[in-house]
Amino acid sequence: MNVSISRRKVVSTLGVASAALAVPTWVGAQRTSIKVGWAISRTGPFSGGAATTQWPNYLLWIKDVNDAGGLSVDGRKLKLEHIEYDDRSQSEEALRAVQRLITQDRVDILLTPWGTGMNLAVAPIFARAGFPMLATTFASERMPEFARRWPNLFSMLNLPSAYSQALIPILAAERAAGRIGDRVAMVHVIESFGLELVNPARDVLRAANFNIVYDEGYPMGAADLTPVLTAAQRANPDVFIAFSYPPDTIALTELARVRNFNPRVFYVAIGTAFPMFKQRFGDNAVGVMGFGGWNPENDAIRSYFRRHVAMHNREPDRSGSSHVYASLQALGQTIEKVGLSRPEIIKHLGANRFDTIIGGLEFDENNIRKGGWFVGQWQDGDFFGIAPIQPGARRPLIPKPAWRT
């Protein structure tokens, strides 16, 4: 667990002596701060995604709020402190840690873990305790059902089918223009995320009369993806799609480069927008498509980018990071409107529009309705959103340039 690490950061953020950490949020009848807690993957297979997309933005939001004097609650400015546990990429650990945050640490705000599977694991605990749950790295086609079951759950990613529906019209337009054919090879990680995306993708591709020439899953944490990539290459596709997690995204891209596998469209999912992707592949990143995207020419994004780099000495990812931060902006704006009453926070989140770095953010039946991108592509050194079409969107670069050796 990383409690000692987090608490040292709290001391620095609040500018108090370490002994003050033993003081409860309530001193007599006087609240002195707002306690924020989370369990997240600092180790294990999910740690790379969590460390890039999620917890750095938790810390940045806390710093930004505290630098501004805190959140206004009942006419007083209250600063934030935080407690963090490492769930070690294991749902059992996440369950224990979240329970501890609620029952022992008695946090006021509870933030979510990384990944669809982990969010589903802890959702019942959030619901039983009545905490608003802003799931920022969670996508499920069953979200309407989950929202009815857990009215406190809000998803910052759209339905998986929306991401498929955003990609396939691009492919259909390129096919109509004669720049690609209809042969598609598709792979996916056998985990909640991969399964949630591949199933609607199959339906949309078939409805658009694409020929799926290869369609296979691979286990989470697979050490060698060479057989998968080799089989996809042998199928001679025009389009390669991988619904992958960060380690797989890097491995599949590197294998494609080494094997000189050059489909005209190359799409890999989570991790494509990460700064490590650009650092790893350099000019070879140009033309690679992936999950999400952003508009780096937007002033709010530019300011956010500078603050993130100044605090963490590294770049955020070009998709999920901004969604995580935007969700916290919405949460902070809500608390300043209704206070720390959990039922009132949940009600306000579902019924209002919020000004965030990704634009106006609002929810439709607890699922994000506005804000963000579904498909991005590396162009000119950044991961621009290319779909849906909206201000700041780039035209897709197809065919992708051949790999450089």
Residues 339-391 pLDDT 10s? 999 999 999 999 999 999 988 999 999 998 765 689 999 999 999 999 988 88
Q: Are residues 403 and 284 in contact, defined by beta-carbon separation less than 8 angstroms?
A: yes
Q: At what angle do helices 299-312 and 55-67 cross, to 10 degrees?
A: 100
User: What single-letter DSSP state applies at residue 50?
Assistant: I
User: Same topology for domains 3-159+320-370 and 160-295+376-387, yes or no?
Assistant: yes
What CATH number belongs to 3-159+320-370?
Answer: 3.40.50.2300
The phi, psi pair for 381, rounded to 5°, reads 80, 5
The pLDDT of residue 9: 40
Q: How many helices (H) and strands (E) does the chain have?
A: 14, 18
Determine whether domain 160-295+376-387 maps to CATH 3.40.50.2300.
yes
Tens digits of per-residue pLDDT, 140-164?
889 999 999 999 999 998 888 888 7
The reported pLDDT for the residue numbered 14 is 39
Q: What pLDDT is recorded for position 1?
A: 39
pLDDT at 3 over 80: no
- What is the pLDDT, as a whole number, of residue 201? 92
Determine if the peptide bond prior to 388 is cis (ω within 30°): yes
Mean local confidence (pLDDT), 81-99: 97
- Kindly state the helix (H) or strand (E) to which residue 387 belongs, with its residue range: strand 382-387
Q: Which stretch of DSSP H or E encloses residue 188?
A: strand 183-190
Between 368 and 233, the more confident residue is 233
Neighbours of 184 (CB within 10 A): 29
What does the mean pLDDT of the chain come to? 90
pLDDT score, position 27: 41
The mean pLDDT of 166-193, rounded to a whole number, is: 94
The Cα 331–Cα 313 span in angstroms is 26
Lowest mean pLDDT among 83-97, 162-176, 255-269, 303-317: 162-176
Half-sphere exposure of residue 221, counting CA atoms within 13 Å on the CB side?
5
CA 96 to chain centre: 23
211: number of Cβ within 10 Å: 14
Q: pTM of this prediction?
A: 0.83
What pLDDT, on the 0 to 100 scale, is given for residue 90? 96
For residue 11, pLDDT over 70 is answered with no
Q: Domain coordinates of the chain in residue numbers? A: 3-159+320-370, 160-295+376-387
Between 139 and 54, the more confident residue is 54
Q: Which residues are CB-neighbours of 366 under 8 A, at least 6 positions away? A: 143, 147, 151, 153, 154, 155, 350
The residue ranking higher by pLDDT, 238 or 16, is 238
Which of helix, strand or coil describes residue 318?
coil
Does residue 89 register a pLDDT over 80?
yes
Whether the per-residue pLDDT at 200 is higher than 60: the answer is yes
